[in-house]
Every structure is written in structure tokens, then in C-alpha cells.
């Protein structure tokens, strides 16, 4: 009986790209537990290409494997639409680079990067036409995941543009920095601009005397490496 059960157990051990397991992946943010589909029993796949109909029903995309959602987000802008095989290849190269640099499970790095990159607070517009004020609001868990995936892939795409580094290398750097909570990442650059620089230039600087080169220099500081 034991000889019959052993091959069945081997078949159930599904690994991403037949290399990385889902068994030891942990979601350290309890609020995102239901929206990061990395369960070894439900969402384990060999490839981030399940061909599921996740957009047919509201909130069903939360059940899409999180690595596949990252893959789909790479297919942005018209010239990249539909190139799923190319996106899967980029993700495979990215995970291999992450594994070489960190010696950890790259699926865990992706999960930690998404947890650290999702915004927790935003502002909405209150009022009708005329006087409009902005009110601080909390962000739902699903939108936190959506925004995190969008910001990670957008940062990798922009850093790879007109650069000798491939998009797989740029995405690997972005994910590793986000997982570590490093300030050298695209999300931190946006936070620095909108939280610190934008109010200064809106309320403390005379537009007539705005020194544009100094503002550009501040933006370039965001992209410099730490240290």
C-alpha cells in the first residue's frame, strides 16, 4: 500500500517551473492573507499561465495565483498586449536571478515585495462641483495588492527602458529591494515625491522663482543606489 501512495505523493508536489515549492511560503500580513494566492493546496502551478476566466466575476481575480498576476501586469501598453509567453519567460529569468542573489525561495521574495509595496492610505475627493476637498481614507486589501503589482512592474519597465540591463534584471532588483524594505525602489521614489516634495513646491515655493534643475536633481536622487 505504501508503494502505491508514494508516486501519488510525488505527483502532488507541484513546484513553480518545477523548481520552487509553494509549501514554505508565508504571508506575514494577516490583512492580505485572502488576496495573495500562494496556497500550496489551492494555487500551486507549474507555470504562471492557468488560462483562467478571472475577470468574468467581481473579485474573482483574488483567486488568481499571485505570480500569474505579476506576469499579466508585465503585458501593459499596446505593443505588449497578449505576449503571455514572453512575460512568462521574463518571470522565469527574474525568479532565477532572485534565487541566485538571495539564496531564498523567490516566491517568498515576491510575496514580501507585494506586502511592502502596497499603499495603506490614500485620499479621495469630497464635495460636488466647485469646492472640493481631499479626505484621507484607508485602502482595501485587494487594491493594496493591485497597486503593489502595478508599481513593481511599472518601476521595472521604466528602469529597463534605454538601459543595458534587461527587464528581468530590473524586475529582480525591484522585487529584492521592495522585499527588504529598501529606499532604493520605485515605490519609495513616488512616496518621496508626493509626500515630501509636492507639498513643498505647491505651498512653499513661488512658481515664478521655481528652480527646475534643482527639482530634477531631487528626482534623480530617488534613483541612486543606497550608500
**E strand or H helix that includes residue 7:** helix 2-12
The H-assigned helical ranges of 74-185 are 84-102, 106-117, 141-160, 167-180
Q: Are residues 77 and 188 in the same domain?
A: no
pLDDT bucket at 216, cuts 50 / 70 / 90: low
Q: Are residues 221 and 140 in the same domain?
A: no
Q: Are residues 143 and 227 in the same domain?
A: no
Q: Are residues 194 and 141 in the same domain?
A: no
Three-class SS of residue 127?
coil
The pTM for the full model equals 0.76
pLDDT tens per residue, range 153-192: 998 998 899 999 999 999 999 999 999 887 766 766 666 5
Q: Are residues 143 and 167 in the same domain?
A: yes
Q: Are the C-beta atoms of 218 and 200 separated by less than 8 Å?
A: no
Cα–Cα dist 193/35, whole Å: 28
Cα–Cα dist 218/223, whole Å: 10
Q: Are residues 26 and 87 in the same domain?
A: yes
**Owning domain of residue 163:** 2-182
Residue 152, domain CATH? 1.10.455.10
Angle between helix axes 84-102 and 167-180 (nearest 10 degrees) is 50
Q: Are residues 69 and 149 in the same domain?
A: yes
Count of domains observed in the chain: 2
Q: Are residues 23 and 124 in the same domain?
A: yes
Q: Are residues 178 and 192 in the same domain?
A: no
β-pairing, 133-138 with 15-16?
A: unpaired
Q: What is the pLDDT of residue 189?
A: 62
Q: Are the C-beta atoms of 145 and 35 separated by less than 8 Å?
A: yes
pLDDT bucket at 128, cuts 50 / 70 / 90: confident
Amino acid at each position: 500500500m505504501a508503494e502505491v501512495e508514494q508516486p501519488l505523493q510525488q505527483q502532488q508536489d507541484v513546484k513553480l517551473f518545477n523548481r520552487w515549492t509553494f509549501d514554505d511560503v508565508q504571508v506575514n500580513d494577516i490583512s492580505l492573507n485572502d488576496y495573495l494566492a500562494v496556497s500550496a493546496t489551492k494555487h500551486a502551478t507549474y507555470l504562471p499561465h492557468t488560462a483562467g476566466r478571472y475577470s468574468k466575476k467581481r473579485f474573482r481575480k483574488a483567486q488568481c495565483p499571485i505570480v500569474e498576476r505579476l506576469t499579466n501586469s508585465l503585458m501593459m501598453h499596446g505593443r505588449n498586449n497578449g505576449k503571455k509567453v514572453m512575460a512568462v519567460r521574463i518571470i522565469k529569468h527574474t525568479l532565477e536571478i532572485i534565487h541566485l542573489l538571495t539564496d531564498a525561495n523567490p516566491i517568498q521574495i515576491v510575496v514580501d515585495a507585494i506586502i511592502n509595496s502596497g499603499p495603506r492610505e490614500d485620499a479621495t475627493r469630497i464635495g460636488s462641483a466647485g469646492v472640493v476637498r481631499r479626505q484621507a481614507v484607508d485602502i482595501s486589501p485587494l487594491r493594496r495588492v493591485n497597486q503593489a503589482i502595478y508599481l513593481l512592474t511599472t518601476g521595472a519597465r521604466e528602469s529597463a527602458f534605454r538601459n543595458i540591463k534587461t527587464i528581468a534584471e530590473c524586475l529582480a532588483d525591484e522585487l529584492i529591494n521592495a522585499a527588504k524594505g529598501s529606499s532604493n525602489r520605485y515605490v519609495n521614489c513616488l512616496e518621496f515625491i508626493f509626500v515630501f516634495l509636492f507639498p513643498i513646491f505647491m505651498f512653499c515655493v513661488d512658481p515664478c522663482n521655481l528652480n527646475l534643475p534643482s527639482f530634477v536633481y531631487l528626482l534623480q536622487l530617488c534613483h541612486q543606489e543606497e550608500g
